[in-house]
Amino acid sequence: MTYTLLHHTGCSTSRKGLALLQENGIEPEVRKYMNAGEALSVAELKDIAQKMGGVSPREFLRDKDAQKFDIPTSMSDEDLFKAMVENPKLIQRPIGIKGDKAVLGRPIEKLLEIT
């Protein structure tokens, strides 16, 4: 089963997460979701939330960017998914996905929970 890592090369935590997986013998399929050609859809974000246990997208929202882009705390999950698609900087990273499980790599050691 393939391990997919939602990765942003400009993020030091994301780079450390990738390195941790590789150090543990896991060579994930890396998806650079910040690149237009690898952008996530609303359906994919909903699937990730479901694989995280049916959580709200707020569970993987970058708080500082939410403030920067004036995302209100009252925004519905549906609108938040759409905002994340329009501006992928709002998505916290790294996120590991394997089978029917997904995990936010904060701290990065959590990425090993689904290997």
Long-range contacts of 10-13 (CB under 8 A, 24+ apart): 10/34, 11/93, 11/94, 13/93, 13/94, 13/105, 13/106, 13/108
Q: In this structure, what token pair is assigned to residue 36?
A: 């237009």
Does 63 participate in catalysis according to the annotation?
no
Confidence band (pLDDT; 50, 70, 90) for 57? very high
Specify the CATH number for the domain of residue 11: 3.40.30.10
The residue from 11, 20, 42, 112 that is catalytic is 11
Q: Which pLDDT score is estimated for 115?
A: 82
C-alpha distances out from residue 15 to 10, 20, 22, 95, 114, Å = 8, 9, 11, 12, 18
Tell me how many domains the chain contains.
1
Kindly report, residue by residue over 7-45, the tens digit of the pLDDT: 999 999 999 999 999 999 999 999 999 999 999 999 999
Can you point out the beta strands (E) in the chain? 3-6, 29-31, 95-98, 101-104
* Token reading at 42: 């609303």
Domain membership of residue 88 as a residue range = 3-114
pTM of structure: 0.95
The average pLDDT across 55-81 equals 95
